[in-house]
Amino acid sequence: MNIVRRSFLKLAGSVGALAAFGAASLLRSAGAWAAWNKAGFESKAFADALKNLGVANPVESRDIAITAPDIAENGAVVPVAVTSKIPGTEQISIIAEKNPFPLAATFDVGNGGEGYVSTRIKMGQTSDIWAVVKAGGKFFTAKKEIKITVGGCG
Amino acid sequence: MSDPMKIRATLQGDTADVRILMLHPMETGQRRDAKGELVPLHFIQSVLITHNGKTVLDAQWSQAVSRNPFLGLRIKGAKAGDKISVTWVDNKGEKRTDEAAVTAS
């Protein structure tokens, strides 16, 4: 009798702990995610995408380097890397000016994450690629034209 | 369930060079299948990368990121054995988390 009760208590205890852990990790992940910028990602015009990113008075900066090919044969896979040497870089966005939805990606960096991101994006046609960097509440930009041989939207 | 990510984190000095390859179709909603019907939007919206539990990169993506997305980043102040965790969530609510340790180069 006593043994049964013991094991029941043990089981109940571990289930409870598990549930508590699950709830805690759920809460933590919910808190950590930045809200997805729906307005920005659904903007169809370059100017609107900038506006919905909250960009005001952007300054062109030579401290931002965009590493990407001059000519990309396949628009479905265009490697783009952005390096920002601006101190206090908080956010890097990549925008393909003539894409149906120009804003491709936004990266929030911090806690030792450096002002560098590298990824691959799709481009519908030859266009300027913009890197928009947010640092200390200000916005800095750089751009680079990439020629596309075959578009990668369809 | 989606396929596991490939994560490689190598130490260069005090900076970890992290390369992640996710396996995901990243449908734009503009592509047509063999029957001529539009394939619905299906893409990774958010990616969260932590270094020993601290968020170092929080990415928000559109469908313009290429199929099987690649993501490269650098983490300053990393040491061999540090834990890198990557979680993505797509627009259908599917998610996946994978972890890797930083290795000395």
Domains of chain A, by residue range, sit at: 1-33, 38-150
- Residues of chain A positioned with their CB less than 8 A from the CB of B57: 107-109, 113, 117
Interface contact A30, partner B, CB < 8 A: no
Give contacts of A 72-111 with B, CB under 8 A. 76-79, 81, 96, 99-101, 103-111
How far is the first Cα of chain A from the last one, in angstroms, to the nearest whole number? 69
The torsion region of residue B28 among left (phi > 0), alpha (psi -120 to 50) and beta comes to: alpha
Mean pLDDT of chain A: 85
Residue span of the structural domain in which B53 resides:
6-104
A3: exposed, middle or buried (Cβ count in 10 Å: 0-12, 13-18, 19+): exposed
- B87/A119 touch (CB, cutoff 8 Å), yes or no: no
Superfamily of domain A38-150, CATH level 4: SoxY domain (2.60.40.2470)
Q: Pairing relation of β-strands B103-104 and B6-12?
A: parallel
Query: Is B1 inside any structural domain?
Result: no
For the stretch A3-25, pLDDT in tens is: 566 665 555 555 555 454 444 44
pLDDT reported for residue A80: 97
- CATH at B26: 2.60.40.10
Would you say residue B67 lies in a domain? yes
Which residues of chain A does B54 touch, with a Cβ-Cβ cutoff of 8 Å? 111-112
Mutation site, A116, A127, A146, interface B, largest B CB count within 10 A: A116
Q: Whose structure tokens read 């990510």?
A: B5
| Domain-embedded: residue B25 | yes
**For chain A, what percent of residues have pLDDT higher than 90?**
71
Q: How far is B30 from chain A (nearest CA, A)?
A: 6
pLDDT of residue B2: 77
pLDDT digits (tens, 9 = 90+) for B74-87: 999 999 999 999 99
Query: Is there a domain that residue B97 lies in?
Result: yes
The verdict on residue B45 lying in a domain is yes
Name the pLDDT band for A2 (thresholds 50, 70, 90): low
CB B58 within 8 A of CB A107: yes
Residue A34 vs residue A74, higher pLDDT: A74
**B49:A153 CB<8 A:** no
For A100-149, what is each residue's pLDDT tens digit? 999 999 999 999 999 999 999 999 999 999 999 999 999 999 999 999 99
Query: B92 pLDDT band (50/70/90 cuts)?
Result: very high
Residue from the list A99, A117, A123 with its beta carbon closest to the beta carbon of B72:
A117
Average pLDDT over residues A53-60: 93
CA distance linking residue A10 with residue A12, whole number of Å: 5
Per-residue pLDDT, A28 = 42
